[in-house]
Structure 1
Amino acid sequence: MKTQNHIPTTKVARASQFVKAGVKVGGNYLKHYGKKLLDPELTREELHKDNATDIYNALSELKGSALKMAQMLSMDRNILPRAYVDQFAMSQYSAPPLSGPLVVKMFRTYFGKSPQQIYDRFEMEAVNAASIGQVHQAWKDGKKLAVKVQYPGVADSVSSDLRIAKPLAIRLLNLNEKDINRYMGEVESKLLEETDYELELKRSIYISEQCASIPNLVFPKYYPELSSKRILTMDWLDGFHMKDFLKTNPSQEIRNRIGQALWDFYNYQIHDLKQVHADPHPGNFLMRADGTMGVIDFGCVKVISDFFYDNYFRLINFDMLDDEEATLQTFRNLEFIVPEDSPKEQAFFVELFKKMIVLLGKPFEKQTFDFGDNAYFDTVYAFAEELAQVEELKNSKVARGSQHGLYINRTYFGLYSMLNELKAKVITHKPDWLVSKKLRLEMQNAD
């Protein structure tokens, strides 16, 4: 793979990359419409593919928050055309890596030594390169290690990158400026946390220790003495990323076992720890033939406040929806309904969000759920497309939904997507207070 010898770090240099991408995209549109004059039946697929390639190439050179945004967008099939999703998905674990001299420079900056002076053996060629950093193999005292090295300048450019990337996202990806502004603070704070490897080290140790008893999960040991603010060392875990794992044609039993481990992992974090590994894309999980799964990268962790938790999850018990006043108050607390709404708008949004909750909360209303049911996901995607066309939402005075829901929604979207890809059937464990009367009766009758 081609390595990268230089990362733009100044605001001017980074801004020029966005400008360059915009110019290329403009040229792609001119080329597309020129071809369309000759062939009126020409679709926009080729245009999307060209644009996605040019935008990705520009973002991959910048690394950091710009590339992280592409990674986040790649998880949502409803926001972007397929060409963008496929191209941006590369940011999950196959961005162009840093060259050797830049890696050595990072070690000398934070340890005052080269990696060869710290480890018994250090592979200069990265085995994995993503948005914030890249991973190298190393050995020390007979142990095989994974060493994550952050890209230079990433932490210092988060805020400016997001400001520069916003108009690009609005114009080229057809995103809503109101929605972007609503959640920008939450995204910025999480990205800044992701660049702090000392914070990630603490969270990695805590969450992996708390979740160690969950069946079929494996966590690496972390090494504080070999870590710093921009370099993180842990045990090497073997396993396959999702795409390669599925190529091995695992049995349904193994798919279910890994799917169950995924569900139980997130269920415990959210409901017991009240903080969650909020970056559930396939690059952060290593799946094995025996049905066990390694979990890595706790850079993005969402801490859940009691107020948000109580309001968000009480809606998962559909008994709540039978109480109109309680539902309305919960919608207000979660900012689905706002004070400016007229009675007509309020009634409209209550019904719309009820429909959304019943659809997305369906797995919680079952004792077991088959995530391989593509008909369910087709319905979810169709509803998302329907939402995108709702005039009342497009013309709404505010973006709806608490900013604290951004990473929780993202977490469940990622979890559902991975379980769907695995075609896993899982027992949807949940706290007792989230079990509805209907489900409780079904469970009693089953016994």
Structure 2
Amino acid sequence: MKQQGSIPTSKVARATEFVKTGVKIGGNYIKHNVKKIVDPSISRDELHQDNAKDIYNSLSTLKGSALKVTQMLSMDKGLLPKAYRDKFTMSQYSAPPLSAPLVMKTFQKNFGKSPSELFDKFNISASNAASIGQVHKAEKDGKQLAVKVQYPGVAESIGADLKMVKPIAIAMFNLNEKDVDRYMAEVESKLLEETDYRLELKRSMEITRACAHLEGIIFPRYYPQYSSDKILTMDWLEGLHLKEFIETNPSQEIRNKIGQLLWDFYDFQFHTLKQVHADPHPGNFLMRADGSIGVIDFGCIKEIPETYYHDYFALLNFDNLDDKEKTDRIFRNLEFIVPSDSAEEKAFFTDLFTGMIHLLGKPFATDEFDFSDDEYFESVYAFADRLTKIEELKNSKVARGSQHGLYVNRTYFGLYSILNELRAKVTTHKPDWLVAKKAVLL
């Protein structure tokens, strides 16, 4: 893999890269429109492929929050055409790595020592490279270690990057500007947390200790003495990323076993810890032939406020949706409806969000759910597509939904997507208070 010798860190340099990307995208549209004149039947597939390539190449050079956005978008199958999803998925663990001199410089700055002075062995070539940092394999006292090295300038560029990414995302993916503005602060705060490796070290040790009883889930041990603000050292875990694992053609029994482990892992975090590993993309899970799974990267943790937790999950017990007064109160708390809504707007958004809850909460409405049900997922993507075209949402003067829902919903969407790709059937364990007493027609 081609290595990267430098990262643009100044506002001018990064802005210039964004401008270059915009020019390339504009050229791609011109090229497509000229071809369309000659051959009206031509599809937009080639345009999507060209745009995906140019956007990914540019943002993978910038690293940081710019590349993180593509990683988040690659998880959203309902938002992007396939060409974008396929290309952006590379940002999860296959971005261009930093060159050896930049890695050495980071170690000298953080420890005053080279990697060879800290470890018995250190592979200067990165094993994986993602949006915030890259991972190197090392050895110390006979232990195999994974050493995560953060890219230079990532934390300092987050605010400026998000401002530059925003108009591109709005224009290309037909996003609502009010929604983007509303959640920008939440995204920025989480991205800043991901660049704080000392915070990640603390959270990693706390959460893995709390989840140690979950049999079949393997967590690495962390090493504070070999960690710093920009470097994080942990045990090296063996396993395959989702795509590679599926290519081994695992049995349905093993698929179900791993799927069950993932469901139970998130069930425990949401309902017991009230804080959750909110970055469930395939690059953070290492799957094994025996049905066990390694979990890494606790940089993005969403702490769930108690009041939000009770309101959010109360809606997943469909009995509560029959209680109009209770539903109205929860919808107001979650900001699905707002005080300024007219009677017509209140009725419209109540119906819209009730339908959405019935659809997205369907796995919770049964004791067992088959995530290989492509018809279900197609209905979810179709609903997401319909949302982008609803005039009442486009013209609404306010953004709908609490900012806390951004990472909570993202977590469930990522989990659902992985379980779908696994073709797993799982028992949907949940607290007793989420079990509806009335039979639900699915």
Range of TM-score over shorter length: over 0.9
Residue in structure 1 matched with residue 3 of structure 2 by the alignment: 3
- Is the Cα–Cα contact under 8 Å of residues 107 and 114 in structure 2 kept in the other structure? yes
How far 1:275 sits from its partner (Å)?
0.3
Counterpart in the other structure of 1:257: 257
Which residues of 2 match residues 231-270 of structure 1 at below 5 A?
231-270=231-270
The structural deviation recorded for 1:438 is 2.6
Q: Matches of 1:187 and 1:176 in 2, distance apart?
A: 16
Partner of 1:435: 435
Q: Following superposition of structure 1 onto structure 2, how do residues 119-268 of structure 1 map, counting pairs within 5 Å?
A: 119-268=119-268
8 Å contact from structure 2 (residues 174, 388) kept in 1: no
Task: Indicate the SS of the match to 2:438.
Answer: helix
Question: What is aligned with 2:404?
Answer: 404
Q: Do residues 330 (structure 1) and 364 (structure 2) align? A: no
Q: Which residue of 2 aligns with 1:103?
A: 103
Q: TM-score, normalised by structure 1?
A: 0.97
* Equivalent-residue separation in structure 2 for 1:78 and 1:153 (angstroms): 32
Distance between the aligned counterparts of 2:172 and 2:349, measured in 1?
Answer: 29
The equivalent of 2:355 in structure 1 is 355
Pairing 1:374–2:367 present? no
Distance 2:75 2:393 in 1: 22
Partner of 1:79: 79
Deviation (angstroms), 1:388: 1.8
2:297 paired with 1:297: yes
Bigger shift: residues 120-129 or 76-85: 76-85
Q: Which moved more, 1:111-120 or 1:78-87?
A: 78-87
Query: Hey, what's the Cα distance between the residues in 2 that align with 1:270 and 1:439?
Result: 25
CA distance in 2, matches of 1:350, 1:167: 30
How many residues end up aligned between the 2 structures? 440
Bigger Cα displacement from structure 2, 28-37 vs 239-248: 28-37
Q: Which residue of 2 aligns with 1:274?
A: 274
For the residue of structure 2 that corresponds to 1:437, the secondary structure is: coil
Q: Distance in 2 between matches of 1:102 and 1:317?
A: 52
Residues 41-56 of structure 1 aligned to structure 2 (within 5 Å):
41-56=41-56
- Aligned-partner SS, 1:94: coil
Give the match's secondary structure for 1:138. Answer: strand
What residue in structure 1 maps to residue 59 of structure 2? 59
Q: Structure 1: give runs of 5+ residues left out of the alignment.
A: 441-447
Residue 82 of structure 1: CA displacement? 1.5
Contact 2:116 2:122 in 1 (8 A): yes
Contact residue 175 and residue 388 of structure 2 kept, 8 A: no
Asked if the contact 1:367–1:439 (Cα under 8 Å) also holds between the matched residues in 2, the reply is no
Q: Quote how far apart the aligned CAs of 1:382 are.
A: 1.5
CA distance in 2, matches of 1:261, 1:350: 35
Work out whether residues 369 and 427 of structure 2, in 8 Å CA contact, stay in contact via their aligned partners in 1: yes
Task: Measure, in 2, the Cα distance between the counterparts of 1:321 and 1:167.
Answer: 37
Q: Secondary structure at the match of 1:438?
A: coil
Indicate the residue corresponding to 1:443 in structure 2. Answer: none
1:174, CA displacement in angstroms?
2.6
The residue that corresponds to 1:425 in the other structure is 425
Residues 81-107 of structure 1, C-alpha deviations (whole Å, 9 max, x = no match): 211111111100000000000000000
The alignment partner of 1:137 has SS state of strand
CA shift, 1:255, in A, is 0.4
Shift of 1:172: 2.8
Q: What is the distance in 2 between the residues matched to 1:19 and 1:221? A: 43
- In 1, distance between residues paired with 2:340 and 2:226? 54
Change in 2 beyond 3 A, CA 1:217/1:36: same
What amino acid sits opposite 2:48 in the alignment?
H
Whether the aligned pair in 2 keeps the contact of 1:359 and 1:380 (CA below 8 Å) is yes
Cα distance between partner residues in 2 of 1:333 and 1:209: 33
Secondary structure of the 1:77 match is coil
1:39 Cα deviation after fit: 0.7
1:272-298 Cα offsets, whole Å, 9 max, x none, are: 000000000000000000000000000
> Could you tell me the TM-score, scaled by structure 2's length?
0.98
Query: Does the CA-based 8 Å contact 1:18-1:168 persist in structure 2?
Result: no
**C-alpha RMSD over aligned residues:** 0.9
Distance 2:112 2:41 in 1: 61
Instruction: Name 2:32's counterpart in structure 1.
Output: 32
Letter in 1 for 2:151: Y
Give, in angstroms, the shift of residue 206 of structure 1: 0.7
Q: 1:90 matched to which residue of 2? A: 90
Q: CA deviation at 1:387?
A: 1.7
Q: CA deviation at 1:439?
A: 5.7
1:233 is matched by which residue type in structure 2? T
Question: What are the equivalent positions in structure 2 for 1:11-30 lying under 5 Å apart?
Answer: 11-30=11-30
- Letter in structure 1 aligned against 2:362: K
Q: Runs in 1 of length 4+ with deviation above 3 angstroms?
A: none
Question: Residue 233 of structure 1: SS of its match in structure 2?
Answer: strand
Q: Which amino acid is the alignment partner of residue 181 of structure 2?
A: N
